[in-house]
Amino acid sequence: MSQACTLTVTEDSVDGATVLTPDGVLDSSTYRALRDEVIEAALGEPRAVIVDVSRLSVPADSSWSVFSSARWHVDGWPSTPIVLVCEHQDMRTAFGRCGASRWVSVHPTIKTALATLQRRDVMAHRARAALPADPSSLRRSRDLVERWLTAWAHTDLIPVTQVIVTALVENVLQHTDSGPDIRLQADGATVTVAVDDASRVQASLGETPTRAGHPLGMRIVNALCRQWGNAPTRSGKTVWVIVGRENRI
């Protein structure tokens, strides 16, 4: 009987970037765990996520795609750069050979990786609240949206954002056992709503409309936003939604 491979990940911060150092074997048994570690680090919106893979053992070149997969999941939001560092030339060559370098660059040192990064604009406003797994969270989430967007002078986007946060929180309460953890972010042009839960089942448009033909859940979100997506995390997932001025109701 084959023995499961192990992989550990340590985290540090260097010049505004999150540095992850995985140690162990990267294969089919550890692939998803490492991917979700990288995605979760990116959702924190650091300057970049730098993964030092020098201590990894990668028996099959195809496993390197874990990093391009992570990059794909955060491409729409928060679009945090993901770059690799490896002190071994043969591993850098293997990474390039599998084609993953088209999406994620690899560098010999953290210093050289940082030198390729541009400074990211910091979001003007951010807020976060963990809510209970209770119907009262529906009203609470709408109240928080109104309070935060009023304080941030985005009152024109309150109605659409309240509809979206209601749909997201309702999905969490109906389909998971966890309480919703909501985040709101705003810059000069858009508002982003992100809701974390403890389920790995991705949000989708597969719901059946009501008998009256009214759309439900993510169908409402899809109709009212600029862009939305799922990002798997270590404990479940994050569903994020971006609304712009064109989405005002």
pLDDT tens-place string over residues 158-174: 999 999 999 999 999 99
Strand 82-85 versus strand 227-232 pairing type: unpaired
Q: Mean pLDDT check: name the lowest of 115-129, 133-147, 148-162.
A: 115-129
Single pTM value for the model: 0.88
| CA–CA distance, 163 with 68 (Å, rounded to integer) | 33
**Pick the residue with more confidence: 21 or 249?**
21
Is the pLDDT at 120 greater than 70, yes or no? no
The pLDDT-based confidence of 94 (bands split at 50, 70, 90) is confident
Burial grade of 55 (CB within 10 A; 0-12, 13-18, 19 or more): middle
Mean pLDDT of the chain: 91
Query: Residue 224 has which token pair?
Result: 């009212």
| CA–CA distance, 43 with 14 (Å, rounded to integer) | 17
The beta-strand segments (E) located in 106-236 are 106-107, 125-130, 181-186, 190-197, 227-232
Amino acid identity, residue 40? Answer: E
